[in-house]
Amino acid sequence: MRLKGIFVSAIFLFFSAGTYANEITSIHLPEGVLAEKTAIGYIGAFPDILNEAARRLKRPVALYAGPWIRSQKNAQRIPGAAIAPLTRVPEREDQYVWVEEILPLNLTFLIMSGTNTQYQKMDDLIGKRIGVLRGSVADVITRNLPELRKYVVLSSTGESLSKLLQHGRIDGWLIWDIYGLENMRRLNLEPFIKTTFSYTVGPLYLATNPSVSIKEVQLWQHTLREMKQDGTIARIIRQHYGNKIVAALKTTPPYSPGTPTDVEYSK
């Protein structure tokens, strides 16, 4: 009976240990243009940044891209799971352990290449027809800017917004710069459309859940900071998007807990 008790205890400890994780073993991303799956794995700036951090830490980390809501739930409940890129808003504050800022989330205004109008700040959009993707960062931000919201033209797809822009039905497309450049590439719009100003909403984070040890969080934090300081993240961003976004990395303001941002990346 004593041996049976020891055996049962050992089994209990084995399965209990499986619900905890000292290290980050998986990172969940939004599916779509930010993490495109290929035969050799995921491609994109964020997969490259995270893979480089894992390489430096000698961690066999698996990347998974899926619907954004599902990715968030997985990051909250799976031992050893993390998520990126995630905005830090008050309602999420206690749901995650916030590891480190990766990049700023900047909005830009996409316009036709032949446009002579100068757009240098958000106020310059007042009175203009502003294309906005429904459910996007720009949708959320403009809801809190009534002087701009009345000029917003909402659409459910990037394809429809690109057609409106090319046909002169809107003056420009307000969009997260990285997502905008990915859409320009995907829709073959790069020869016809250009970016304008950058409006920084706030930082994008790598976050995890309490199953990951404090030491592991600190190691990832140190590595991501090192990658920012030695120029690795800027180099990866430049490889994917050119110098426009790299310049914006140098002007990121400090995090504000009141930043009203929530985005559905899969749209």
pLDDT of residue 89: 85
For the segment 6-30, what is each residue's pLDDT rounded down to a tens digit?
444 343 333 333 444 689 999 999 9
Which residue would you say has higher pLDDT here, 188 or 3? Answer: 188
| Class level of CATH domain 23-104+202-251 | alpha beta
CA distance 134 to 166: 19
Q: Considering only CA atoms, which of 39, 94, 144, 85 is closest in space to residue 263? A: 85
Q: Mean pLDDT, to the nearest integer, of 106-119?
A: 91
**Which 8-state DSSP code applies to residue 167?**
T
Domain 23-104+202-251 and domain 105-200, same fold? Reply is yes
pLDDT of residue 4: 45
Q: At residue 99, does pLDDT exceed 90?
A: yes
Domain parsing of the chain, residue ranges: 23-104+202-251, 105-200
Which residue would you say has higher pLDDT here, 142 or 4? Answer: 142
CB 17 within 8 A of CB 201: no
Paired tokens of 87: 């905005």
CA distance 200 to 121: 11
Confidence of residue 33 (pLDDT cuts 50, 70, 90): confident
pLDDT of residue 244: 62
pLDDT of residue 125: 96
Q: At residue 113, does pLDDT exceed 80?
A: yes
CA distance 172 to 131: 6
Q: At residue 169, does pLDDT exceed 60?
A: yes
pLDDT of residue 190: 79
Confidence of residue 185 (pLDDT cuts 50, 70, 90): confident
Confidence of residue 245 (pLDDT cuts 50, 70, 90): low
Q: Mean pLDDT, to the nearest integer, of 178-191?
A: 82
CA distance 225 to 206: 12
Torsion 149-154-156-160 (CA) sign: negative
pLDDT of residue 180: 86
The chain-wide mean pLDDT, for the chain, equals 84
Q: Rounded to two decimals, what is the model's pTM?
A: 0.78
Which CATH architecture is the domain 105-200 placed in? 3-Layer(aba) Sandwich (3.40)
Q: At residue 45, does pLDDT exceed 50?
A: yes
Q: Mean pLDDT, to the nearest integer, of 221-249?
A: 85
CA distance 108 to 138: 9
